[in-house]
């Protein structure tokens, strides 16, 4: 053996001899035991003195002594190998657990920063050292997690999975996401700060980095002292049929983090995580059906505030906001095109409906004394000029809180347009004029447009649209005339029937317009009370003809029967003809194809039908209307419900008092349940808090003044909640899905630092 080998072997033999003597000396005879001790001492002395020749001889002596007298305690080859491998594994585990760990990217949620299949190194001591197989971190002072860091962590819902995302919110932050806009209100701050970003010119590419992805945009985003690239690519939402939008607000608790992927629309991250638990569901105590039963509203939207929905599953809080129709925000546009009763008749009938507050005016007059925005914008000025030129007459009525009502006659186009605008949608005469100019400009350019295609002006108010289709003439309107052969054809020798079926103009409007068309009104016409004649019928007569206008309201049919004096010299003959028409109205109401049967040649023997100039069945009906009902959601039209399952042994009275803490002027009340509390809510209205012993649940129901104007209304709603809370199956959901958005600090394994595969990106730092 060489001197180096002697040095190595001698050290091993000395350690082995001392270990055997320490553990097994009692099993070796005294004389051999002493010989081994002396040999080991001499070998150690030779090794220390560097006497390698003497050490070489002593190695052979000690090895023989150990072989003869202590072979039972010596390690075999296999044992030695196993121990060496074990030591190596422990060292590797220590390095992996406490310092660096390789990690493979499993998805494209971090594109473009990281791609599916990338291999990275995770720095595991940058935030402190995590004790293996625990969530305990020691040495946190080594470094703090920062906003914008890319971290690897155990998935909070299933800790057996590792996730990689970017830190957006730290403990105490409030993160608000609205589509592609991310804002953070840092702990201790009062204002949200939107994360600055810059659009990049480079295109998005697929996970292989080859194909360009359409409709995808890259942005460089700043968060803290980090700048990184994120991408927004529309993804399909089956609920809306369009791109999914991520929206919400998250308050990050102490010891937690909020994370997002860089591939914002395709990342399963804090904004999307949910967990199935057995939970209290406050909407089981009060449901939409209950609200429809006990309040004047029918449409409600349920929201579950994030601050409560992500917490204890034994508690829940829901808010119902009524979709309250607001006349102040309503907008309505009605258009008559070449009406059969005449443009003047329709215009005058609409004006009459305005009442005493109506005034004839001009479009330009609506802008007087206001900012007259159009005068400084040539395009708007031209628009107003075109609209003004088309107007023959215009009347406007200010309806106080209901806003403005206006009607415009366009004689050249043979049209009448009525526009109504609530006081919130049109808060000034100028705004009303501006929206009328938009409508008229569009109509003059293309009179064939439907009312819903005309621009009535934008608004931030949520609208529900109701449009009355023009439809085919044959389905909605009948105009049939008959005359005697050889007659001159004037009104005196003509029978004419005009009938409207299932239109949106209104029975009263059609009645008034029909009477006005023959120079009459309900004030001057006679109400008819004849057998077989519709009770809501009016008779107007002049020297040439008798006219009967009948409103069949339940059938949705209005009939105007005009009979010349040549046939109807007196009223009985008119009534006889009207009874024949009345008998056919029910069939025409049920089947649009039978509208034409209301009056036929067989009903007037010896008379022939005068053909209509335009008999095309495909021609559209003269009238259509677009109504936009503005709805608002506010605290004034809301109901809040809280439900909390008591812990075993918890004091119910104390829980009731705690839940009633936010009520004003609260007082004990047994109106709903003994031991309850009633008080006033912050937004007006009444709140009831009570405990249900049968199911160990505490409930609070707040009803706003808009939905519960009286204390009795709120009490009825609270009683309904108490009745339902007595059955646990109503409010305990065994498969409730609750948001689970945060990453516990102890789940963080480390920061992603470097890419080491693929080779073309070897050792690139992760931004």
Catalytic residues: 109, 165
Say if CB 329 and CB 462 are below 8 A apart. Answer: no
Sequence-ordered alpha helix ranges (H) in 446-570: 473-476, 507-517
| Integer Cα distance of 178 and 99 in angstroms | 38
List the beta bridge partners of residue 494.
483
Contacts (Cβ under 8 Å, ≥6 apart) of 121: 100, 101, 102, 103, 752, 753, 754, 756
- Strands (E) located in 616-745: 623-632, 638-645, 664-669, 676-680, 686-692, 697-703, 732-739, 743-744
Order of strands, sheet of 477-484, starting from the edge strand that comes earlier in the sequence: 526-527, 537-541, 545-552, 557-564, 494-501, 477-484, 607-610
Torsion angle of the four alpha carbons 20, 26, 27, 33, in this order, in degrees rounded to the nearest 10: 60
Contacts for 701 with CB less than 8 Å, ≥ 6 apart: 285, 286, 639, 640, 641, 642, 687, 688, 714, 717, 718, 721
Query: Is the torsion defined by CA of 287, 288, 289, 295 positive or negative?
Result: positive
Pairing mode of beta strands 462-468, 623-632: antiparallel
What is the end-to-end Cα distance of the chain in Å, rounded?
56
Task: Enter the tokens of residue 296.
Answer: 């004047």
239: Cβ–Cβ under 8 A, 6 or more apart, which residues?
none
Tell me the two tokens of residue 230: 């994120």
527 bridge partner residues: 538
Query: Residue 679's closest CA among 690, 697, 666, 670?
Result: 666
Cα 1 to Cα 438: distance, rounded to the nearest angstrom: 105
User: How does strand 150-154 pair with strand 331-337?
Assistant: unpaired
């Amino acid at each position: 053996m060489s001197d180096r080998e002697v040095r190595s072997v001698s050290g091993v033999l000395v350690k082995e001899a001392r270990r055997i003597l320490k553990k097994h000396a009692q099993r070796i005879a005294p004389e051999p035991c002493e010989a081994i001790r002396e040999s080991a001492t001499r070998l150690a002395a030779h090794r220390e003195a560097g006497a390698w020749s003497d050490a070489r001889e002593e190695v052979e002596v000690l090895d023989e002594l150990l072989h003869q007298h202590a072979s039972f305690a010596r390690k075999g080859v296999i044992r030695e190998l196993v121990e060496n491998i074990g030591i190596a594994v422990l060292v590797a585990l220590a390095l992996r657990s406490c310092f660096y760990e390789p990690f493979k990217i499993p998805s494209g949620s971090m594109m473009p920063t990281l791609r599916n299949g990338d291999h990275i190194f995770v720095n595991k001591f940058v935030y402190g050292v995590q004790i293996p197989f625990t969530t305990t971190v020691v040495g946190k002072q080594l470094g703090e997690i920062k906003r914008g860091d890319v971290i690897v962590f155990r998935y909070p819902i299933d800790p057996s999975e590792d996730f990689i995302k970017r830190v957006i919110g730290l403990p105490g932050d409030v993160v608000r996401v609205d589509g592609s806009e991310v804002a953070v209100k840092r702990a201790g701050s009062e204002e949200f700060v939107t994360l600055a970003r810059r659009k990049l010119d480079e295109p998005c590419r697929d996970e292989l980095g080859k194909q360009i992805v359409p409709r995808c945009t890259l942005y460089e985003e700043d968060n803290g002292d980090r700048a990184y690239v994120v991408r927004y690519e529309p993804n399909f939402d089956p609920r809306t049929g369009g791109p999914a939008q991520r929206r919400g607000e998250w308050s990050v608790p102490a010891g937690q983090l909020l994370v997002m992927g860089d591939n914002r629309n395709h990342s399963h991250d804090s904004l999307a995580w949910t967990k199935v638990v057995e939970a209290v569901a406050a909407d089981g105590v009060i449901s939409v059906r209950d609200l429809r039963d006990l309040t004047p509203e029918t449409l409600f939207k349920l929201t579950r505030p994030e601050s409560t929905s992500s917490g204890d599953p034994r508690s829940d809080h829901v808010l119902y906001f009524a979709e309250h129709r607001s006349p102040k925000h309503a907008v309505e546009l009605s258009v008559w095109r070449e009406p059969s009763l005449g443009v003047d008749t329709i215009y005058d009938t609409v004006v009459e409906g305005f009442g005493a507050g109506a005034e004839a005016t001009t479009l330009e007059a609506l802008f007087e004394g206001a900012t007259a925005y159009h005068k400084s914008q040539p395009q708007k000025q031209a628009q107003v000029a075109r609209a003004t030129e088309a107007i023959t007459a215009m009347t406007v009525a200010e309806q106080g809180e209901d806003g403005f009502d206006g009607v415009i006659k366009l004689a050249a186009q043979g049209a009448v347009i009525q526009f109504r605008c609530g006081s919130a949608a049109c808060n000034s005469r100028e705004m009303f004029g501006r929206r009328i100019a938009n409508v008229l400009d569009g109509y003059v350019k293309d009179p064939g447009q439907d009312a819903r295609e005309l621009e009535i002006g934008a608004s931030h108010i949520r609208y529900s649209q109701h449009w009355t289709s023009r439809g085919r003439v044959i389905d909605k309107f009948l105009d049939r005339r008959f005359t005697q052969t050889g007659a001159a054809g004037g009104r005196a020798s003509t029978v004419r029937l005009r009938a409207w079926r299932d239109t949106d103009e209104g029975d009263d409007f059609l009645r008034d317009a029909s009477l006005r068309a023959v120079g009459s009104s309900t004030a001057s016409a006679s109400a008819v009370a004849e057998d077989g004649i519709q009770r809501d019928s009016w008779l107007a007569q002049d020297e040439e003809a008798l006219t009967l206008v009948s409103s069949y309201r339940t059938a949705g049919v209005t009939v105007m029967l005009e009979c010349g004096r040549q046939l109807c010299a007196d009223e009985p003959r008119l009534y006889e003809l009207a009874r024949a028409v009345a008998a056919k109205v029910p069939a025409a109401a049920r089947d649009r194809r039978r509208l034409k049967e209301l009056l036929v040649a067989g009903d007037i023997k010896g008379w022939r039908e005068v053909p209509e100039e335009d008999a095309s069945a495909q021609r559209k009906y003269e009238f259509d209307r677009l109504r936009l009902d503005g709805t608002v959601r506010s605290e004034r039209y809301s109901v809040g419900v809280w439900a909390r399952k008591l812990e075993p042994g918890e004091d119910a009275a104390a829980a009731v008092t705690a839940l009633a803490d936010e009520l004003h002027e609260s007082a004990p009340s047994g109106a709903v349940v003994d031991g309850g509390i009633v008080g006033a809510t912050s937004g007006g209205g009444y709140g009831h808090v009570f405990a249900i012993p049968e199911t160990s649940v505490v409930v609070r129901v707040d009803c706003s003044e808009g939905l519960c104007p009286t204390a009795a209304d709120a009490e009825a709603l609270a009683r309904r909640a108490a009745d339902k809370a007595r059955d646990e199956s109503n409010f305990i959901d065994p498969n409730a899905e609750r948001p689970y958005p945060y990453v516990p600090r102890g789940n963080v394994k480390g920061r992603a630092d470097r890419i080491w595969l693929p080779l073309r990106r070897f050792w690139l730092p992760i931004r």
